[in-house]
Chains A and B, each alone.
Chain A
Amino acid sequence: MPDFTDNLKPRYDGTATLQAERDASSINVDELAKHLLSRNGFLERQQRVLNVLSKEKLFNKDQLLNLSRPDRYYLGLARSKAIQRIGRKLGWDDEDYKMAEYLNDEMSPYHLHTTMFVTTVREQGSEEQKAYWLPKITNFDIIGCYAQTELGHGSNVRGLETVAKWDPERKEFEIHSPHLTASKWWNGAMGRTATHAIVVAQLLLPKQGKAHEYENHGPQPFIVQIRAEKTHQPMDGIVVGDIGPKYGYASMDNGYMLFDHYRVLKSALLSRYVDVSDDGKFTRHGHPAVLYGSLTFVRANIIMHARLILARAVTVAVRYLAIRRQFRDRDSTNEQEDEMKVLDYPTVQIRILPLLATTFALHYTGEYMYMLYQRSRETIEKGDFGPLAELHSASSGLKSLCTMLAADSIETCRRAMGGHGFGGGSGLVLINADYLSKPTVEGDNWMITQQVAAYLIKKMTQAVKNPNNKAKDPTDVLFQTYLQTRSSRTPKTIVSSSGIDDEAIVDAFQWRAADLSYRAYQARVVEKKPWTKLMVQLHNLSRAYSEQILVTNFYSSFETTSSPLSAPTPAVLRRCFRLYSLYTLDTFASSFTLTNAVTAESTYALLDAILELMTELRPHAVKLVDAWSIPDWLLDSALGRSDGKVYEDLYDRAHRRNPLNKITFNPDYRSEEIVLGSGDGGRDLLAKL
């Protein structure tokens, strides 16, 4: 309905403001975008899939925040189905489907089917099992999920309570939940969607020669039908359902599941690496550590994803803060002067610009991880498990650091935007809620850092014992160099009158990681301190080690002989490198000085150097976020629109697209009526409670 507000304009023109920002920097955005996002044809694919999805009414994002949980799931399922139908029609490949899920930006009830479920069958199924199951999976004749974690058990797979007991008479397994805490819990797509599940259960086989005693062979994967094909009702002996609302992931039916002596055939055990013979004997072929292979793959993906999440939050923040004005400059004497752009405040810059720099730090490490994973995968397939340790360790430490950085940064960006950051128009409400699960899924961040520390202690022990062994990986090189130069170390000076010393930065991060590893080795191996007491120290070690990886990889990107990028981009990226490094150094200053990585005096100069770097980066901020090429449709943010029409869009969402405004309420407490004129008397409501 037209009204007088249709002709109102914001006091400052956001579009012109952003244009002026873009004109003030000579960075070539297209070139930088290609540099960052050309792997697997990302940019071209993004555009192509976006064109398809954004035209479908079903994928309109307007009302998501108004919907109840059951409606969100309904919509999530409807969209997942539609994506499959569209993809088949257009002949999409795997990457296209992934792109569609990324752009649709909610957890799909098919997500586990197309990731963990199929990957596990492919990696852990025997040839025969693969031939039977894979066509059904690809064709969506069955829908799968992955049931590992339980109500009482998360990170510790060995502690799972669900059992799969061998019945020697019928040569079958009996899957059973002996306690309430054995209930499978949190498993995506299991609550309402899936027909089949990979169930991880403790494999119990009779002890040889003793009829009624069983031996535990550890957690193993079973492929199990959980709902009937026709009716979609749970199979007899299974109770399965959705676990209810969560902080985020509203579109996903995370589930619970219990088994009552549920029988499955012998062929349910995925048997590429383990098997049970007809007479109940356990055999193992290959390396058991490979069971963690798919977990490592998921972590690698999470890290690659983290940079885009972070980029998204920073894109919204930078654009809005370049438009939002607040207070005149206090030192200005001109009464008529406009209020200042918030992004010009150092208190705002220090929250946002280091995060902008971090997006690039994550990028170069993501590329490195990708390479490391591909390289190790080939050798694992050949039966050589040597590199798995380095891969597993690097992936878990980085996963912990990157997801924590990304999760925290969404919230930092949201708050930096003041009141409007709290509104749905920020576009950060759902992403914040959905992404917050990342620090806990696939291994609690605080728990998996212990694996990293254990690995580093082991490496340091080896380096101390055999200082002259041939170095097998970068960690060996680092530790051996550290041990050789430990006694003659002079702490570095990072910032001096001649400027910032980049090599000293890399050296300082590496030294700190090596020194903390050595201290952990001393405490654990030499002084034999209890593990539990060392945990805080070990967590800090993992973080330091991962930060070292980020800094080293970022720095290595400058070493390639000629940069493919035109001026001033390489120089700007180098400032990002410095800002990320110095900001981290400043945040953990005492850890750097206590390990002799840098001199205490040089930490005092950090704040001024950081402020100067931010002043230098400030003019390029809008173009740097532009380069991440996050489409407006994905941002779904009034504040982060690429055309700067912030206030027009906020108002449009509130006024024209808000269902609450279609209703007139009765505010008088004397009347029980809630919706005016309905005469409801609160009765409908009580029925809903």
Chain B
Amino acid sequence: MPQTPSWVKQLKPSGPQGSDLLASERAASNVPVEQLSELLFTKETIQKKNKILATLKSEEMFDKSPNYYAGRYEYFEKSVARAKALRNLKLRENWTLEEYRIACDLISEPLPYSLHEGMFVVTLKDQGTPEQQERFTKPADDYKIIGCYAQTELGHGSNVRGLETTATWNPERKTFTMHSPYLTASKWWIGSLGKMANFACVMAQLIINGKSYGPHPFIVQIRDLKTHEPLENVHVGDIGPKVGYNTMDNGFLLFNNVEVPHISMLARFSEVDPNTSKYVRKADPKLIYGTMTWVRSTIVMQSGSALARGVTIATRYSAIRRQFTDRDEPKAKVETPVLNYSMVQIRLFPLLAATYALHFTGKAMMNLYTRAQETLSKGGASILADLHGSSCALKALSSTIAVEGLEVCRRACGGHGFSSFSGIGNWYGNYLPTVTFEGDNYMLTQQVANYVLKSARAALAGKAAKNETGHILAEYLKKKDIRPSFDITSSNADIVSAFAWRAASLIFDIQNKRDNLKTAWNDLLVDFYRMNKAYAQYMVVVNFYNTLQNTKAAPEIESVLSTLFRLYALHTLDQEASDFTATGACTERQVAVARSTVEQKLLKEIRPHALRLVDAWDFDDYVLDSSLGRHDGKVYEDMFYRASELNPLNRVTVDPYPESPVCFRKVEEAHPKSKL
């Protein structure tokens, strides 16, 4: 294809220019963006981020512009190179772990070392004895060995007890035999296993003398350290392409009676005595459940920013994209920006509100977690138990909101949302597994049910409430017969109470079904799911509310955050209307008022601040990698540039006629400029 001719280069988008439109959007609001960003992330973190961003942008290896064109194979190859380069950058720049994580976040694609760092080393540190630390953790820390964490199997996901891989103790030789008795025993989905790792932490059923002691972790070498070929009787590889995460080598792994030494079983919590062949339990493995709570709280907080990417892109583009003149002003020459349509607002603004709600909720949980850990003796323990329950509930809710919200954002961009250059599709693909990993969102609701059933029974027995869940249950029991009314239209505190009331009512409802009516567990699963949603939504609303109460900021910020709070809460209330009315938390009339408050009032109040509210999320253009979401509004120029200059398909001339079997008649070399 010839170089872009000059008459094309001179063309400008018609009508008001994107950059002017965004500038006037920003001028129309007085929300201090920088202060709001600092409230979200702290000044210190933002400075760190900017420094790392500058480093990454200066490295050719991390240029994102060719990402959208590659096949799985090249894309993975590049991601191996990037993982190596990032590790070298960390050493060169002397990054802390936190800074390294910020860098990964900015690159925004899963890299094939991440399970080595995130799971393998962490498990070794948490569960290894001092001897094992010396033997495995040291070389792992130094990347002399590269590991992964092999738990899920082809036939088994969430249910660890059902794993089929076995590790059988051989008393004479003091070794374990790792074995995969079925095809479905194959380890599957294991990140960094497919091509990268030479060690794996393998979860396998421990068998001593024919008796099974349940799943335990074993450190097993799987590839040769020199040739990187699989060891004998180990069968390992990549599981193939996926919806997203294609830069990661998720792998499979099978053992054909592979013998490993005694030291392979991680033995901080339990071990096999090499002399007596007895199983010895040394400490309570529940000690490490805290890590899971921490991981889930992180997911809650990240769900806010994950969604905020989509909302940023869709909001900026909708402020520029114009469609139809206003039906009530047929003479108007300029079409209306679609962000003025209530139809677009009702899709985007509740999600904008949700980004803040989820972020503050995640942050509040992590603070609570840190404080409770420090005061374990003084009631911290019961707060931690509560956090475990609520973090499960919130993980399920928040990642579902983010995943579904991202697709709503993509569709709100109309046709251009379908282009890779929207920047939403790829990100969505990579974020998707969040709803199934770290506990499948639907399965988690059973753990939550377990926890709240216990709390409900304690409340009924009149035990004093020691944590948030206990409080709302006790409050409900106290007022159940009076049936209080909540003034959701004018009091934020009453909105919170209405959410608490609905959650508590649904919790006692399942407690009644389970304990008094003896309903089968399986028949209650849908009720659990409903309860979980109510319970988690309460958590989000109360944490958002508490953040508002405890935040001192500029009056413009306080006021707009309060509007976001009401938008999130009342919109959710309208969506879940039948729950609220059925539990007596509010009346049908109140639902109708809530709906019209959202549609006729709150959307309008947010509208002028929409741009600045997404700006406060502080995504650099490098991170978004999106034509539609550019900070400077040069949407159409960038779409056109990427399509015509960067797109490799335009270097091809085809033979279009069916009679000829030739498809590509000519393929030009890349222009020297676009090669780099």
- Chain B 60-91, CB-CB to A under 8 Å as 1, else 0, gives 11010010111111101110110110011000
Whether a CB of chain A sits under 8 angstroms from the CB of B271 is no
Whether a CB of chain B sits under 8 angstroms from the CB of A130 is no
Partner of B14, one of A182, A246, A414: A182
Bound complex: CA of A419 vs CA of B592, how far in Å?
40
A-B contact pairs, 15 of them (CB 8 A): A12-B184, A140-B657, A149-B415, A156-B324, A331-B521, A346-B526, A539-B343, A647-B154, A647-B155, A650-B154, A655-B237, A665-B196, A666-B228, A669-B84, A675-B77
Bound complex: CA of A152 vs CA of B320, how far in Å?
10
Bound complex: CA of A422 vs CA of B437, how far in Å?
11
Bound complex: CA of A345 vs CA of B159, how far in Å?
15
- Residues A532 and B326 in contact, CB atoms below 8 Å apart: yes
Interface size counted on chain B using CB atoms at 8 A: 157
Which residue of the partner chain B has the closest CB to A324? B155
- Residues B155 and A439 in contact, CB atoms below 8 Å apart: no
Bound complex: CA of A253 vs CA of B112, how far in Å?
32
Smallest beta-carbon distance A48→chain B, Å: 21
In the complex, chain B residues whose CB is within 8 Å of the CB of A152 = 13-15, 321-322, 636
Given A667-B228, A676-B228, 11 other A-B contacts at CB below 8 A? A69-B71, A69-B648, A70-B648, A181-B14, A194-B656, A231-B653, A422-B245, A444-B415, A533-B599, A669-B84, A689-B78
Smallest beta-carbon distance B147→chain A, Å: 11
Whether a CB of chain B sits under 8 angstroms from the CB of A247 is yes
Chain A residues numbered 620-651 whose CB sits less than 8 Å from any CB in chain B: 647-648, 650-651
In the complex, chain A residues whose CB is within 8 Å of the CB of B155 = 10-12, 324-325, 647
In the complex, chain A residues whose CB is within 8 Å of the CB of B73 = 66, 659-660
Chain A interface residue count: which class? 35 or more
Bound complex: CA of A675 vs CA of B158, how far in Å?
34
- Residues B238 and A11 in contact, CB atoms below 8 Å apart: no
Which residue of the partner chain B has the closest CB to A535? B343
- Residues B159 and A655 in contact, CB atoms below 8 Å apart: no
In the complex, chain A residues whose CB is within 8 Å of the CB of B529 = 347
- Residues A688 and B66 in contact, CB atoms below 8 Å apart: yes
Smallest beta-carbon distance B247→chain A, Å: 12
Partner of A660, one of B154, B238, B425, B443: B238
Whether a CB of chain B sits under 8 angstroms from the CB of A195 is yes
- Residues B238 and A661 in contact, CB atoms below 8 Å apart: yes
Whether a CB of chain B sits under 8 angstroms from the CB of A462 is no
Given contacts A180-B637, A429-B242, contact A326 B157 (CB under 8 A): yes
- Chain B 638-667, CB-CB to A under 8 Å as 1, else 0, gives 011011101111101111111111011100
Given contacts A155-B323, A156-B335, A689-B63, contact A590 B577 (CB under 8 A): yes
Which residue of the partner chain B has the closest CB to A677? B227
Bound complex: CA of A433 vs CA of B419, how far in Å?
11
Bound complex: CA of A360 vs CA of B263, how far in Å?
59
In the complex, chain B residues whose CB is within 8 Å of the CB of A670 = 143
In the complex, chain A residues whose CB is within 8 Å of the CB of B61 = 686, 689
Among the listed stretches A28-36, A185-193, A379-387, which one makes contact with chain B, having 4 or more residues with CB under 8 Å of it? A185-193
Which residue of the partner chain A has the closest CB to B225? A668
Given contacts A80-B658, A181-B14, contact A669 B235 (CB under 8 A): no
In the complex, chain A residues whose CB is within 8 Å of the CB of B70 = 68
- Residues B647 and A536 in contact, CB atoms below 8 Å apart: no
In the complex, chain B residues whose CB is within 8 Å of the CB of A244 = 68-69, 419-421, 642-643, 646-647, 649
| Most central of B523, B588, B650, B655 by chain A CB within 10 Å | B650
| Most central of A80, A655, A659 by chain B CB within 10 Å | A655
Whether a CB of chain A sits under 8 angstroms from the CB of B8 is yes
Chain A residues numbered 116-159 whose CB sits less than 8 Å from any CB in chain B: 140-141, 143, 149, 151-156, 159
Bound complex: CA of A604 vs CA of B530, how far in Å?
14
In the complex, chain B residues whose CB is within 8 Å of the CB of A84 = 658
Whether a CB of chain A sits under 8 angstroms from the CB of B484 is no
Which residue of the partner chain B has the closest CB to A68? B71
| Most central of A530, A654, A676 by chain B CB within 10 Å | A654
Which residue of the partner chain A has the closest CB to B192? A667
| Most central of A437, A444, A604, A657 by chain B CB within 10 Å | A444
- Residues B69 and A153 in contact, CB atoms below 8 Å apart: no
- Residues A179 and B14 in contact, CB atoms below 8 Å apart: yes
Smallest beta-carbon distance B174→chain A, Å: 25
Whether a CB of chain A sits under 8 angstroms from the CB of B229 is yes
Bound complex: CA of A593 vs CA of B650, how far in Å?
56
In the complex, chain A residues whose CB is within 8 Å of the CB of B592 = 594
Among the listed stretches B31-39, B249-257, B294-302, which one makes contact with chain A, having 4 or more residues with CB under 8 Å of it? B249-257
In the complex, chain A residues whose CB is within 8 Å of the CB of B244 = 422
- Residues B78 and A685 in contact, CB atoms below 8 Å apart: yes
Smallest beta-carbon distance B15→chain A, Å: 7
Smallest beta-carbon distance B629→chain A, Å: 15
Bound complex: CA of A648 vs CA of B420, how far in Å?
34
Bound complex: CA of A537 vs CA of B653, how far in Å?
49
- Residues A241 and B658 in contact, CB atoms below 8 Å apart: no
- Chain B 417-442, CB-CB to A under 8 Å as 1, else 0, gives 11111000100000011011100101
- Residues A191 and B254 in contact, CB atoms below 8 Å apart: no
- Chain A 50-71, CB-CB to B under 8 Å as 1, else 0, gives 0000000000000001111111
- Residues A4 and B640 in contact, CB atoms below 8 Å apart: no
- Residues A247 and B342 in contact, CB atoms below 8 Å apart: no
- Residues B415 and A660 in contact, CB atoms below 8 Å apart: no
In the complex, chain A residues whose CB is within 8 Å of the CB of B676 = 689
- Residues B184 and A11 in contact, CB atoms below 8 Å apart: yes
Whether a CB of chain B sits under 8 angstroms from the CB of A204 is no
Bound complex: CA of A682 vs CA of B82, how far in Å?
10
Given contacts A11-B184, A441-B415, contact A415 B436 (CB under 8 A): yes
Given contacts A11-B155, A242-B649, A329-B521, contact A247 B7 (CB under 8 A): no
Bound complex: CA of A115 vs CA of B26, how far in Å?
45
Given contacts A179-B14, A589-B578, contact A10 B182 (CB under 8 A): yes
- Residues A239 and B4 in contact, CB atoms below 8 Å apart: yes
9 tightest A-B CB contacts, nearest first: A68-B71, A65-B241, A179-B14, A84-B658, A535-B343, A531-B327, A661-B237, A590-B577, A180-B11
- Chain A 355-395, CB-CB to B under 8 Å as 1, else 0, gives 00000000000000000000000000000000000000000
| Most central of B323, B326, B649 by chain A CB within 10 Å | B649
- Residues A531 and B328 in contact, CB atoms below 8 Å apart: yes
Whether a CB of chain A sits under 8 angstroms from the CB of B233 is yes
In the complex, chain B residues whose CB is within 8 Å of the CB of A421 = 436
Bound complex: CA of A439 vs CA of B145, how far in Å?
48
Bound complex: CA of A153 vs CA of B415, how far in Å?
9
Whether a CB of chain A sits under 8 angstroms from the CB of B279 is no
Bound complex: CA of A436 vs CA of B13, how far in Å?
28
In the complex, chain A residues whose CB is within 8 Å of the CB of B249 = 660
Given contacts A65-B241, A689-B78, contact A159 B323 (CB under 8 A): yes
- Residues A439 and B411 in contact, CB atoms below 8 Å apart: yes
- Residues A239 and B228 in contact, CB atoms below 8 Å apart: no
Smallest beta-carbon distance B622→chain A, Å: 15
